[in-house]
Amino acid sequence: MPRIRTFRPGDEEALADICVRTGDAGGDATGRYSSDDLLPAIFVLPYVARHPDFAWVVESDDDRVTGYIVGAPDTDAFDAWFRDEWWPRYHAQFPRPAEVVTEEDDIVTGAYRRAETPSTAGEKGYPAHLHIDLLPELQGQGFGRRLIETLMERFRDAAVPGVHLIASARNTGAAAFYPRVGFTLVPSVPGILVYVRKP
């Protein structure tokens, strides 16, 4: 039976692999961008570097990591650290585009824009955010819900008042999942789903 455990140093390669294999609106994004390093460098690796105490994984019977959840208790503080300390190491690999033409340009530009403006969700009482990804073999077994509740308990312990998350409108699985685990959809821009929840 798979089990949930806290993140441990050495899990990073598995987390990066899961991030890529679920990075196309829940589908496999392998080979979609100029490098498979792109999505993990933005959406999972900085979280376990900055906040390893807000990260859990699902480990299979054969000791493979098959899912994870990561979080940041204060989005504005995380984004400032991302901009100043984390993302500069990727400037050479992913230079800021002069203009946004491709989907990759949009993702890279978004990384450079971190911390340019305060989080609007934070201003509304939902300063934390999270990312959760499960390989297909793990989905539909209740582990997503268990990971969410594990992180919510950690947010409560840290006196975090609220959490938000963002998903692509193309991700129909996410759109069905998040309301089932207590998140409320709030208005956003076309193509983007924004959900909020109190821990």
What Å distances lie between residue 172 and 65, 140, 192, 193, CA to CA?
Answer: 24, 14, 12, 10
Asked if residue 94 belongs to a domain, the reply is: yes
Asked if residue 15 belongs to a domain, the reply is: yes
The predicted pLDDT at position 134 comes to 95
On the question of pLDDT at 138 being above 90, the answer is no
Share of the chain above pLDDT 90, in %: 83
Asked if residue 103 belongs to a domain, the reply is: yes
pTM across the whole model: 0.95
Give a three-class secondary structure readout of 3-29. EEEECCCCCHHHHHHHHHHCCECCECC
Task: Give me the torsion for CA of 159, 42, 132, 125, rounded to 10°.
Answer: 30
pLDDT confidence tier of residue 139, bands split at 50, 70 and 90: confident
Write out pLDDT tens, residues 76-93.
999 999 999 999 999 999
The predicted pLDDT at position 117 comes to 84
pLDDT confidence tier of residue 23, bands split at 50, 70 and 90: very high
List all residues 6 or more positions away from 80 whose beta carbon is below 8 Å from its beta carbon.
114, 115
**Total length of the chain:** 199
Asked if residue 178 belongs to a domain, the reply is: no
Asked if residue 173 belongs to a domain, the reply is: no
Write out pLDDT tens, residues 102-131.
999 999 999 999 988 888 888 799 999 999
Q: Which domain holds residue 119?
A: 3-161
Number of domains comprising the chain? 1
Asked if residue 170 belongs to a domain, the reply is: no
- Distance, CA of 83 to CA of 75 (rounded, Å): 12
Report the chain's mean pLDDT, rounded to a whole number: 95
The CATH number that applies at residue 45 is: 3.40.630.30
- Distance, CA of 144 to CA of 140 (rounded, Å): 8
Q: Write out the two tokens for 112.
A: 């450079």
Asked if residue 151 belongs to a domain, the reply is: yes
| Alpha carbon of residue 59 to chain centroid | 18
Query: What DSSP line would sit under 79-142, residue for residue?
Result: HHHIIIIIGGGGTTTSPPPSS--SHHHHHHHHHHTTTSS--HHHHTT--EEEEEEE-GGGTTSS
The b-or-e profile of 32-54 (16+ CB within 10 A means b, else e) is ebeebebbbbbbbbbbbebbeeb
Write out pLDDT tens, residues 52-73.
999 999 999 899 999 999 999 9
Asked if residue 44 belongs to a domain, the reply is: yes
On the question of pLDDT at 179 being above 90, the answer is yes
The predicted pLDDT at position 48 comes to 98
Mean pLDDT along residues 144-168 = 96
The predicted pLDDT at position 161 comes to 97
